[in-house]
Amino acid sequence: MNLVITCIQLDIKFGDPTFNYQQVSHLVKDAVEKENPDVILLPELWTTGYDLTRLDEIADHEGLKSQQFISELAKEYNVNIVGGSIAKKNQDGVTNTMYVANRDGELVHEYSKLHIFKLMDEHHHLIAGKEKGLFELAGTKSAGVICYDIRFPEWIRSHTTRGAEILYVVAEWPLARLYHWRTLLLSRAIENQCYVIACNRSGSDPNNVFAGHSMIIDPWGEILAEADENSGFISASLDLQKVKEVRKQIPIFEDRLPEFYD
């Protein structure tokens, strides 16, 4: 089975959800017309950016608006959407939450970032999620991964041992650590023998310049598409048979010895 995937690498307007919903709505339409994808991926916290001190005011209450927005777009354009992540507010606090909708506009998964990134002050404003990132989309077992999560190979592995063949990574990764971004993504693809689809943002905010360099990597570690630092789309066609071939050629999932790993 082949799947065409498009990452929308965009510049997020700091603290302005109204503007950002509108721009994403236009970009999804444009991506569907130009790239005809099966799946679209958005970056991390695309409604608010990292305007963390104003989350009380601008986070989405129970994530209701974002759920509806992503579901309606998916249905209108008949495309699966891995909706990056948004700031979701509930009575316990604010989570950094991904919504996934299928072509029929049905919400198939919700995942909130597990690992809180202190270097960007997340521990003062965000709380960690409680669920795994596993879901099935376009007939393929997949997992959602949010930014700093890619530094935790054991977390990612707990998804690929449960069958994930595609990792959807969404991020606001700073340019200062571009080398880490590229190296970690390539490593997660090679060590898990899976596709890695990674959508970062472009542009800057008052605290950071972001790296862009969204990437689509195959299970052998070949880069199928990579953006530069500017806004735009990257797309690639994934051949899911390749996951099985690579896992057969070097059978790391059979050769693991987890009883020695603690």
Ligand X SMILES: O=C(O)CCC(=O)C(=O)O
Contact positions toward ligand X, by CB under 6 A? 117, 120, 147-148, 151, 172-174, 177, 180
Half-sphere exposure of 65 (CA within 13 A, CB side): 14
CB of 44 to ligand X, least distance (A): 6
Q: Whole-angstrom distance between the N-terminal and C-terminal Cα of the chain?
A: 37
**Cβ 99 to ligand X, closest distance in Å?**
18
Residue 28 or residue 114: which is nearer to ligand X going by CB? 114
Q: Which is nearer to ligand X, 201 or 247 (CB)?
A: 201
Tokens of 83: 């909706």
Token pair recorded at residue 45: 């916290």
Residue bearing tokens 């990132």: 133
Residue among 7, 35, 44, 122 flagged as catalytic = 44
Cβ(23)–Cβ(8) under 8 Å? no
Cβ nearer to ligand X, comparing 44 with 165: 44
Q: Choose between 184 and 243: whose C-beta lies nearer to ligand X.
A: 184
Q: Is 110 a catalytic residue?
A: no
Minimum CB distance to ligand X, residue 122 (Å): 7
- Nearer to ligand X among residue 77 and residue 173 (C-beta): 173
By CB atoms closer than 10 A (0-12, 13-18, 19+), residue 100 is: buried
**What's the rounded Cα separation, in Å, for the pair 51 and 114?**
19
Residue 242: active-site member: no
Measured in degrees and rounded to the nearest 5, phi and psi for residue 143 equal -140, 145
Q: Is 194 known to be catalytic? A: no
**Residues 13, 88, 89, 113: which is the catalytic one?**
113
Distance between CA atoms of 230 and 212, rounded to whole angstroms? 6
Candidates 7, 147, 194, 199; catalytic one: 147
Residue with the two structure tokens 């949010």: 146
Task: State the nearest-atom distance from the C-beta of 45 to ligand X, in Å.
Answer: 8
Shortest distance, position 208 Cβ to ligand X, whole Å: 8
Residues acting as catalytic residues = 44, 113, 147
